[in-house]
Structure 1
Amino acid sequence: MSRTTVEMVTYQHKGKTMTRKKRDTTFGTLKRLKSGKFQPIYLGPDKKRYYASACNTEKQAREFLADRDYEIKHGQWKPPASIEAEDFGRYATIWVRQRQTRKGSALRPSTIALYERELDSGLQGFARCPLTYITPPMVREWHGKRCEQAGETTAGAEARLLHAILATAMKDGTITRNPVPSELLRSKTGNGHRAPTAEELANIIAALPDKWRLCAYIAAFGGLRFGEWVRLERQDLDEVDGHVVVHVTCQAQRVGGEWLIRPPKSSEGVRSVSLPLWLTDIVNDHLKRFVGPFPASLIFAPDKNGTRYVSESTWSHKWSRALDKAHISDVIRPHDLRHYFGSALADAGVGIRQLQNALGHGTARASLGYLESSRGLPESLADRLQRLPAATDTNIVNYPSRENGTEALAS
C-alpha cells in the first residue's frame, strides 16, 4: 500500500524556521476579526506579507484578493505604500481643479461648485479610500444607499462624477478598470415633465403678473435660458423691420451667494434672436411700463431693492402659482419653455443647424459646425412661430395691480 507524499514548505516566524503543509492554489487568506469583518492577507511579489484593510463581507474580501492576484500575475501590482497618496479624496480634488471642457476651456464656477457639493456629500464615503480599493460591489452598495437617501436622480449624477474621475485614473494608469457599472449612470426621476401646449402656455402667461409675462414670452419664443434673460438690459434689445431682436452676449449665475456675469453656456450661445412680429407690441408695452429709461436698465428688475437680479427661486415660485391658477397639474418647469420653443421651430420645418443656432446649443458632431455660419434666429424663422390662442380659463385670478391699487377677487 503506497503512502501519499505531502509536500512541505518552510517559512520564518519570529526568527525561527518553521515547516507546514503546502496550501492549495488559493491566493491569500482571510482573517475573521472580532468586529465580524474580514481582513485579506496576501503575499506580494516582493515576498512580503500584506495585511489589507478589513472588508465588511467575506465576498468583498475575496474579490479584493482576486484583484490583487490578477495584478500580480499581469505585472500591474503596486505596493500599498506607493498608492497611499492616491486616495480618492485627494485625487478628486486635483481632478476638479484641472478638469477642462471638451473644448479645452476651464470649468465654470457653477460647475466646480456642483462637483464640490457632490464630493462633500454623496461621495464623501470614498474620500479616504485608495483608488485601487474601490470595487464594483462597493460602488453598487453605495449607490443603493444613495438611492434611498437622496433619490435615484441624485445618485445617478454622483455616480457619473465618480465614473468620470475614475476614468481619468484609468488613463493615468493608477487603476486598470473603472469599477463604476454603466447601468448606475442613468438617472431616473419620479415625476416626468413636458413642454406646455399652446393653449396651456396662453393660460399660464395670462395667470402671471403683468411684469413677469414677458419672461415667459422670451423663453418660449426666443429660447433664452434663465441666466440669459434675467440679466437683459434695455440696450440688448433692438427693433429691426418691426421685429424685436434680442442680443444674447452673457448670462448671470449665482454661485456661493454671489452673482457672476459669464459668457453663455456654450460659444454658440452668443447670438441674436428675432422675436415674432406679433410680440413687438407686447415687448414695447413692457419697456414702457416696467423698464427704466437708461441703456443699462434691467428688462426684469427684481421686486426687492438691493437685489441685483431676480433669483431662480423667485421666478419658479411665480411660475408655480401661475400653473395652479391655470389648473395645470402636470409637471411643467420654467426651463420647459425652451423645449416648447425648439419643438415649435421643428414643427415649422426648421433645419437642425438653424435649430441649434436659435437655441444657442453646442454640438457633439463637429461637422455640423461647418454647415452654416450664422447664429441666432432671423426674422424669416421667427414669424413661423404662431401667435398664442386666447386664454380659455375665465377663472384665473389676476394679481394685484400697483397702478390701480385694487385687488381682483375670484368670483
Structure 2
Amino acid sequence: MRAGGRAAESRFGSVRKLPSGAWQARYAGPDGLPRKAPNTFDTKRAAEQWLVETEAEMLRGEWLDPDAGKITLTEYADRWMRERYLKALTREEYERHLRLHVRPQLGDHLRNAITAPHIRKWRADRLADGIGKPTVAKTYRILHAIFATAVDDDLIRRNPCRVKGAGQDKAEERPTATLQQVFAIAEAIQPRYRLLVLLAAFAQLRFGELVALRRRDIDLGATELRVRRATSEMEDGTQVDADPKSEAGKRPISLPAGLRADVEWHLAQFAEGGPDGRLFRGTQGGIPRRRNFNRVWRKALAAAGIPDALGLHLHDLRHTGSTWSAQSGATLKEVMARIGHSSTRAAMIYQHATRDRDHAIAAALDALIEEARGKISA
C-alpha cells in the first residue's frame, strides 16, 4: 500500500500508512460515527492489533467513547453537582471542598486522564500543605462519588480514587464533662441558655437541633421531646431550618424526669408563644448563632471553673451524654436511636464507655474466683 494511499480494510475498521511513515487506525463506533485511534502506531501489525482489542471491548460492552472524555474535571464536577439533590448546607459544603481543594490542583485535567497515581499525589500534596486529615478525607469522599458516577455512566472504566483508607478520618477523642461540671456550666451560663446546656447533655442534641426546637416539640405529659428539624447557618449568614442529616435524625427522645421543672421554667420565661414558637432565642429575640453562643459558652466555662486546657465545647456535652448512655447499659442500637445515627460507625465511639463497666464485671468475676478458691482450700 502506498504512503497516503488507500486504507487497508480489515474485518473491523481500517488502517493506513501516513506520509510520516506511522500507521493510523480508523473505525466506526457503536453509534456509527467514524473515529480514529488516539495515537498512531509504528507498524501496521500494531495498528491492526489495536483494532482487534477495540472491537473486543465493544463486544464485551466495555468500549468508552473517547470524545466523552474531552471534558475537564471542573466541568464534570459542576454537572455532577447540578444533577444531585443536596440539602442547601451539604451543597455549600461540597462546593467549598471542590473550590478549595480540587479545582486548583485537578480541575483543568481531562476527566478521563486522571489516574490513581494522580489521586495519590493530590492527596499527599494536600496533607503536605497542612490541610487537616478530616478535610482531605471529606474531599476524597466527594471525589470518589463523582468518579463513581462516571463509572456508572460508562464514561470511565475504573474509579481512580483507590487509595486504601483515604476516605476515613479518625477524629481525635473529645473530652467528656463530669455530672458536676455540666450542672456548674448550666448554673453559670445566661439563664436563657440553661436548658440548652442540660438538653445538650441529657438529650444528646446537636446545636442545630437545639435551636430548631419549637414548643410543639415538647411533650411534658410524656416527658419527651421530638427532633423534627435542624437549623443550619450558611456562609452568607442565612439561617435555614431543614431535615436532619438522615431519617434517623428525626426521633423522639425521652427526658429524665429530673429535667421537667427546668423545661417548665424555661417555657414560662424564654420560649416564644404559640405551638410553633421557638424554644430558644438570643438576647435580641433572634435564632441563636453558633459564633455568638460560643462567646457566651466560654464565659460560662470560666465562671464555672472549667479549665481552658480541657478544651470543652458544647458538642462535647452530646458526647458526654452518649457516654453516660453507654455506661447505663444501653445497647449499640439504643445509643444510635437516641443520638440519631443511621450507621454504627459513629455510635461505636461511645462503646469505649463500657470500659468502666468492664472493670466492674472483672471485679465481680474476681469475687467469684476468690469464693471458689476459698471453697476448694476448705
TM-score (norm 1): 0.64
Mapped partners of 2:121, 2:238: distance in 1: 37
Q: Aligned runs of 1:388-399 on 2, under 5 Å?
A: none
Show CA shifts across 1:371-401 (max 9, x none).
xxxxxxxxxxxxxxxxxxxxxxxxxxxxxxx
State the partner residue of 2:307. Answer: 327
Q: Which residue of 71, 84, 101 corresponds with 2:70? A: 84
Write out aligned runs for 1:291-310 (5 A): 291-305=271-285, 307=286, 309-310=287-288
Q: Give SS of 1:252's match.
A: strand
Tell me the amino acid that sits aligned with residue 297 of structure 2: W
Partner of 1:151: 132
- Aligned-residue offset at 1:161: 0.7
Task: Name 1:311's counterpart in structure 2.
Answer: 289
8 Å contact from structure 1 (residues 323, 329) kept in 2:
no
Q: Sequence identity, in percent? A: 28
Contact residue 195 and residue 266 of structure 2 kept, 8 A: yes
AA matched with 1:84 = K
Larger helix proportion of the pair? 2
Alignment check: 8 A CA contact 2:336 2:344 kept: no
Q: How far, CA to CA, are the matches of 2:167 and 2:39 in structure 1?
A: 33
Aligned-residue CA RMSD (Å)? 3.5
Q: List runs of 5+ in structure 1 lacking aligned partners.
A: 1-8, 21-41, 53-67, 100-105, 366-411
Question: Which residue is equivalent to 1:131?
Answer: 111
Deviates more, 1:289-298 or 1:273-282: 289-298
- CA displacement 1:283-314 (0-9 Å, x = unmatched): 22223333345444322111235x3x111222
State which of 251, 262, 268 in structure 2 corresponds to 1:282.
262
Pick from 81, 94, 98: which aligns with 1:96? 81
Tell me, in whole angstroms, the C-alpha distance in 2 between the residues paired with 1:236 and 1:16.
77
Shift of 1:10: 9.2
- 1:341-384 Cα deviation digits (max 9, x unpaired): 2221222122333333322332479xxxxxxxxxxxxxxxxxxx
Write out the 4+ residue segments of structure 1 that deviate beyond 4 Å after TM superposition.
Answer: 9-13, 15-20, 42-52, 71-74, 76-80
Shift of the 10–326 alpha-carbon distance from structure 1 to 2, 3 Å rule, reads: farther
Q: Does 1:227 align with 2:208?
A: yes
Pairs aligned (count) = 307
The aligned residue for residue 268 of structure 1 is 248
SS in 1 for 2:309: coil
Is 1:252 matched up with 2:231? yes
Deviations along 1:53-92, one digit per CA (max 9) or x if unpaired, are xxxxxxxxxxxxxxx99x869736656544214x322322
Contact 1:194–1:332 (Cα < 8 Å) also in 2: yes
Compared CA separation, residues 192 and 340, structure 1 to 2 (3 A):
closer
- 2:198 pairs with 1:198: no
**SS in structure 2 opposite 1:298?**
coil
